[in-house]
Chain A
Amino acid sequence: MLRFVAKRLWGGGLTLAALVTLTFFVMRLAPGGPFSKNRKISPEVLANIQEAFHLDEPVWQQFGRWLWGLAHLDLGPSTRFRDYSVNDIIASGLPWSLTIGFWAIVVASLVGIALGIAGALRRNGASDYLAGTIGVIGIAIPIFVIGPLAQAFFALRLGWVPVGGIAGGWNALILPILVLALPNIAYISRLTRSSMIEVLRENYVRTARAKGLGARRTVLRHVLKGALLPVIAYLGPATAAIITGSILIETIFAVPGIGRHFVDAALNRDYPLVMGITILYGGLVIVANIATDLVRGWIDPRVRHD
């Protein structure tokens, strides 16, 4: 067990190192620079700015400087938002992104599992049909089509919630969370349904029913445990999917999270900010994957960690 964790952490560390290195050098290789979009500035001023951000140094030296800062938990100054450090920007944006992402996963798991169970227990019934429809819609209609449509309908037409931003508090976050959850509801309900159907055919389920256990208790005690394993395995990849989705959601709903910052930073060649968010996202995905594997091994004795 401990060996498994150590091995996975080592692998995750290697992946993160590769990601960070690749990101750093690819960003420098990409055409343009942090100050190339500015209005015309004299070469002297530009040279001064470049020097202030150490952009005049050789690239490997800049990388060393960045690593040194990272070792001290200092991700450097943002080149776009003057007077703000990357740490500041992440500290202000991360809570929003985490709130939306966390609740999206919670909603997706609860609704997805419920729909999947309902569908599997009453195959080809009304609830199965509903779950199937939501599943197909969630998978086939992209977030950036559903999101604006939801805004147009629930915010502009009905006026139930704000169109975007964060001024409305929780009210403003409902729509982003639901839209972000939708594709994952689709995946999770499909996974739950098919694994439920499989488990319902197992001998131990028939045994439980035969010895007189009620339908409800059989499902809760015996079926669910087996049926939820693939769903738990999906939670690792779901984290990556939520990150991808949150970039869109934050753009559509004008939420000042780090996803929106990431795209803006990439487009404006804000090297330190891109690096900061990259290492955060990379770490998050890796930790989520390892945690998923651990939980899986804890619940399912067939998954061996050696």
Chain B
Amino acid sequence: MTDVTTAPRHLSTFQLQLRRFAANRLAMASVVILLLIVVLCFLGPYAFPFTGEDADFDYISAPIDFSSPHLFGTDDFGRDLLVRVMEGGQVSLTIGFLGALTAGGIGVIYGAVAGYVGGRTDRIMMAAVEVLYGFPYVILVILLGLLFGGGTVALFAAIVFTLWLTPAVIVRAQAQSLARREFVEAARAGGMTGSGILFTHILPNCFSVVLVYGSLLVPEVILSESFLSFLGIGIREPQASWGNLIQTGTAAMDTDLRLLLLPGGLLAAVLFCLNFIADGLRDAFDPNER
């Protein structure tokens, strides 16, 4: 017999999962670096007396020079590169996180309803998803970008509209298996309404799946944003985003790689971090993987 009085302090599953995540060094380092980049992008511009749209005619196409006011130099219009990259980062990161949150939210609710209600409703709802899934992603996102007429909001809508499908499919499968479990049966027998069960039993139990796949959505949204802006369909000059900064950098790469390397490197760093974090979350929260 083991001594029951000195049982280890009780930890909830969630706490255990969080500890497992915290023990993953690569993922934790990624969290720290990502936070640093976010802080840099959102607070950095305040350290400079000019904005990313102010042209400085004394420093046109200035090179990297840490003793000048423009640390990483300027572009063809004399606009400070570092400040533009930070401002572009604000746009890219905001769209990334808000977009993933919105697309994830829509997908979760759609999938949970389809999976829990089942039957004909489920079949019709999932048939719509299947048709949209069959569309080549590029066509959909370019078309919607055009339809909403360019700019931040249009881009956001186009990306959200194309990326809610995967969370919907994943949550539906989860909700479907939950709907058959005894505790849901018990809740129904106890007189709970359908929407009550959905919000108190089904959705909270989808949490870890949503967290894992939601974390993969963020890099996907950021990538979509920069993809479209790179092609000239998303964020347009003079507003900066990592996508259109990289595009400008590409045009100037035969003379000066700096314009490509700074935004490109920062974008890659963010994507690296987000992928490592997603991997860490999957290892910590998803018992099926591994």
Say if A and B assemble together.
yes
In the assembled complex, the Cα of A278 lies from the Cα of B134 at a distance in Å of 12
Chain A residue nearest to B270 (CB atoms) is: A140
Assess the A149–B271 pair: CB atoms within 8 A.
no
Known: A14-B131, A145-B246, A266-B233. 17 other contacts (CB 8 A): A15-B135, A27-B143, A29-B147, A136-B272, A142-B268, A144-B247, A145-B260, A145-B267, A148-B250, A152-B257, A156-B254, A163-B254, A248-B227, A262-B142, A263-B232, A282-B134, A282-B139
A45 at the interface (CB under 8 A from B): no
Which of A18-26, A64-72, A101-109, A227-235 makes up part of the contact surface? A18-26
Checking B138, B147, B253, B260 against A247 with a beta-carbon cut-off of 8 angstroms, the contacting residue is: B138
In the assembled complex, the Cα of A286 lies from the Cα of B134 at a distance in Å of 7
State the Cβ distance, B227 to closest chain A Cβ, in Å.
7
Q: Given A142-B271, A278-B139, A18 and B233 touching (CB < 8 A)?
A: no
Contacts of B138 in A (CB 8 A): 243-244, 247, 262, 281
5 of the cross-chain contacts (CB-CB < 8 Å) are A31-B149, A142-B223, A142-B271, A145-B267, A244-B137
In the assembled complex, the Cα of A251 lies from the Cα of B131 at a distance in Å of 29
B104 at the interface (CB under 8 A from A): no
Contacts of A278 in B (CB 8 A): 139
Q: Given A30-B147, A141-B268, A248-B230, A148 and B260 touching (CB < 8 A)?
A: yes
Checking B135, B144, B246, B254 against A282 with a beta-carbon cut-off of 8 angstroms, the contacting residue is: B135
B249 at the interface (CB under 8 A from A): yes
Q: Which of B136, B149, B223, B260 has the most CB of A within 10 A?
A: B136
- Give residues 142-175 of A contacting B (CB, 8 Å): 142, 144-145, 148-149, 151-152, 156, 163
Checking A18, A136, A149, A285 against B264 with a beta-carbon cut-off of 8 angstroms, the contacting residue is: A149
A139 at the interface (CB under 8 A from B): yes
B146 at the interface (CB under 8 A from A): yes
- Give residues 1-53 of A contacting B (CB, 8 Å): 11-12, 14-16, 18-19, 22-23, 26-27, 29-31
Contacts of A141 in B (CB 8 A): 268, 271
Contacts of A30 in B (CB 8 A): 143, 146-147, 149
In the assembled complex, the Cα of A14 lies from the Cα of B128 at a distance in Å of 11
- Give residues 130-178 of B contacting A (CB, 8 Å): 130-131, 134-139, 142-144, 146-147, 149
B241 at the interface (CB under 8 A from A): no
A252 at the interface (CB under 8 A from B): yes
Q: A residues within 8 Å of B by Cβ? A: 11-12, 14-16, 18-19, 22-23, 26-27, 29-31, 136, 139-142, 144-145, 148-149, 151-152, 156, 163, 240, 243-244, 247-248, 251-252, 262-263, 266-267, 278, 281-282, 285-286, 289
B275 at the interface (CB under 8 A from A): yes
Checking B136, B147, B253, B272 against A281 with a beta-carbon cut-off of 8 angstroms, the contacting residue is: B136
Assess the A267–B232 pair: CB atoms within 8 A.
yes
Checking A23, A139, A142, A262 against B267 with a beta-carbon cut-off of 8 angstroms, the contacting residue is: A142
Interface of A is mostly: helix
Assess the A263–B142 pair: CB atoms within 8 A.
yes
Assess the B135–A19 pair: CB atoms within 8 A.
yes
- Give residues 225-262 of B contacting A (CB, 8 Å): 226-227, 230-233, 243, 246-247, 249-250, 253-254, 257, 260
State the Cβ distance, A148 to closest chain B Cβ, in Å.
4
Interface size class of B (residues with CB under 8 A): 35 or more
State the Cβ distance, A19 to closest chain B Cβ, in Å.
5
Assess the B231–A281 pair: CB atoms within 8 A.
no
Contacts of B253 in A (CB 8 A): 148, 151-152, 156
Assess the A266–B143 pair: CB atoms within 8 A.
yes
Assess the B268–A144 pair: CB atoms within 8 A.
no
Chain A residue nearest to B219 (CB atoms) is: A140
State the Cβ distance, B268 to closest chain A Cβ, in Å.
5
Q: Given A27-B146, A247-B138, A248-B231, A15 and B260 touching (CB < 8 A)?
A: no
Contacts of B260 in A (CB 8 A): 145, 148-149, 152
Assess the A19–B147 pair: CB atoms within 8 A.
no
Assess the B230–A144 pair: CB atoms within 8 A.
yes
In the assembled complex, the Cα of A170 lies from the Cα of B239 at a distance in Å of 39
Assess the B147–A267 pair: CB atoms within 8 A.
no
Contacts of A251 in B (CB 8 A): 231
Contacts of A149 in B (CB 8 A): 257, 260, 264
Chain B residue nearest to A18 (CB atoms) is: B131
Chain A residue nearest to B133 (CB atoms) is: A15
In the assembled complex, the Cα of A247 lies from the Cα of B232 at a distance in Å of 12
Chain A residue nearest to B141 (CB atoms) is: A244
Assess the B254–A152 pair: CB atoms within 8 A.
yes
Chain A residue nearest to B272 (CB atoms) is: A140
State the Cβ distance, B259 to closest chain A Cβ, in Å.
10
Contacts of B243 in A (CB 8 A): 144
In the assembled complex, the Cα of A14 lies from the Cα of B132 at a distance in Å of 11
Assess the B223–A244 pair: CB atoms within 8 A.
no
